[in-house]
Amino acid sequence: MEVPGQALPVLQQSISVQKQPGKTGVLIVNLGTPDSPSVPDVRKYLREFLMDGRVIDIPVVSRTFLVNGIIAPFRAPKSAKVYGEVWTVNGSPLKHYGEVVERELQKELGDDYVVKLAMRYQNPSIDVGLSAFQQLGLTEIIVIPFFPQYASASTGSVYEKVMEIVGKWQVIPQIRFTNRFSDHPKFIEGFVRLGRKYMAQEDYDHVLFSYHGLPERQILKGDVTGKVCKLGDCCDSLHAMNQYCYRAQCFDTTRRLVKELDIPEGKYTTCFQSRLGKNPWIQPYTDDVIPQLARQGVKSVLAFSPAFVADCLETIIEVGVEYRELFEKHGGERWQLVESLNDSPIWIETLVDLVKRTA
């Protein structure tokens, strides 16, 4: 019976939040590397890499003839020689940095997570990493491709491979992907710190931001409307309709770095490297820009490669050596490569944020 003036008793209900029963798997995935710089291993790597229909997006019969009949046989010896130049006592730099990051990320995340390194091509394979996860009774799997900007030929290929494998499992846990992270504040800050280190030592005439290139047709195929992509000033801003355009993402990365580094307009260039074949790739081409800069009187260049998070053949040799020689050939005097994030603490912090934000 209610007594006037007396408050009703409050029913206290105990609410407990039950912890998820299993751990979270974190699969970090980079492009890949040969098992050794020997010609047979390099040829094997090139065949797997270039036979991916997202990398060379032409009919399979034509792709097979091109890769197995022309590229792999003739390019493997030359590539093996170059791989030999970057190989260290720890093996491939790309794989070595990946292994260090795997260990450091595991330490930072703790026992509730299981971190595995995988390569899209060659070893350690995505299949092996996911198979290890399958045996652990994981509640969920987070996949982080090591490509800052999304592209069908890189991030898209990792997605496709992961789904091909887990699609055959009887029990498929929750799977989450990190699509891109080129706008992540810590990713940007990592390259800003590296850039400031060199800019404090010398006043460079020009700053070059060189990204890995892609065929124009792949960019155009990504515009499902057929109306947005013009391969030009449409990349001057990143918005809902071009957010997955690789070229637009690269220009956006440059704008963010330029702002933080306080680089004046006219003192920097965004360009694209590593083109292959006769079909047009996204422009401007790095190997066209460099001679133009030298002819304009630019004597010193600070070169970034913000499409890579680990130093590899494309950064160490292509940007660091070949482009320096090209610059000097046309009258340039000072060329400085800014290294990748590699195994730096801020890169580990970036990955922790990506995992926790995704989780």
AA letter at 252: D
Q: What is the pLDDT of residue 21?
A: 73
Going by the annotation, the residues of the binding site are: 212, 314
Residues 59 and 114 in one domain: yes
Q: Scan for tokens 């790739």, then name that residue.
A: 281
Q: Give the whole-number percent of the chain exceeding pLDDT 70.
A: 94
- DSSP states along 232-244: SGGGGS--TTTTT
- Window from 3-17, 133-147, 217-231 with minimum mean pLDDT: 3-17
Residue 170 or 6, more confident: 170
Q: At 9, list the tokens.
A: 């008793």
> With 90 as the cut, is the pLDDT of residue 228 above it?
yes
Domain count, the chain: 2
Confidence of residue 8 (pLDDT cuts 50, 70, 90): very low
Looking at residues 171-180, what average pLDDT do you find? 95
Q: What is the CATH number of the domain that holds 238?
A: 3.40.50.1400
Bridge partner list, 337: 303
Q: What is the pLDDT of residue 95?
A: 98
Q: What is the pLDDT of residue 11?
A: 42
Looking at residues 253-270, what average pLDDT do you find? 98
Peptide bond between residue 124 and the one before it cis (omega within 30 degrees of 0)? yes
- Window from 26-30, 182-186, 225-229, 331-335 with minimum mean pLDDT: 225-229
Confidence of residue 357 (pLDDT cuts 50, 70, 90): confident
Alpha-helix residue ranges (DSSP H) falling in 305-344: 313, 323-329
Residue 152 located in a structural domain: yes
Residues 157 and 212 in one domain: no
Q: What is the pLDDT of residue 19?
A: 55
Residue 349 located in a structural domain: no
Residues 128 and 147 in one domain: yes
- pLDDT single digits (tens) 282-328: 999 999 999 999 999 999 999 999 999 999 999 999 999 999 999 99
Residues 203 and 318 in one domain: yes
Residue 322 located in a structural domain: yes
- pLDDT single digits (tens) 54-72: 999 999 999 999 999 999 9
Bridge partner list, 142: 26, 176
Going by the annotation, the residues of the binding site for Fe(2+) are: 212, 314
> With 50 as the cut, is the pLDDT of residue 105 above it?
yes
Residue 125 located in a structural domain: yes
d(CA 213, CA 289): 14
> With 50 as the cut, is the pLDDT of residue 16 above it?
no
Residues 163 and 193 in one domain: no
**Backbone Cα Rg of the chain:** 24
| Structural domain containing residue 143 | 24-179
Q: Is the pTM here over 0.85, yes or no?
A: yes
Q: At 319, list the tokens.
A: 């940007």
d(CA 358, CA 330): 47
* Lateral strand order in the sheet of 300-304: 268-273, 206-212, 300-304, 334-337
Residues 166 and 199 in one domain: no
Residue 350 located in a structural domain: no
Bridge partner list, 211: 272
Q: Scan for tokens 């992907």, then name that residue.
A: 177
Residue 354 located in a structural domain: no
Residues 201 and 93 in one domain: no
Residues 226 and 139 in one domain: no
Residue 29 located in a structural domain: yes
Q: What is the pLDDT of residue 321?
A: 98
* Lateral strand order in the sheet of 174-177: 113-121, 24-32, 140-145, 174-177
Residue 56 located in a structural domain: yes
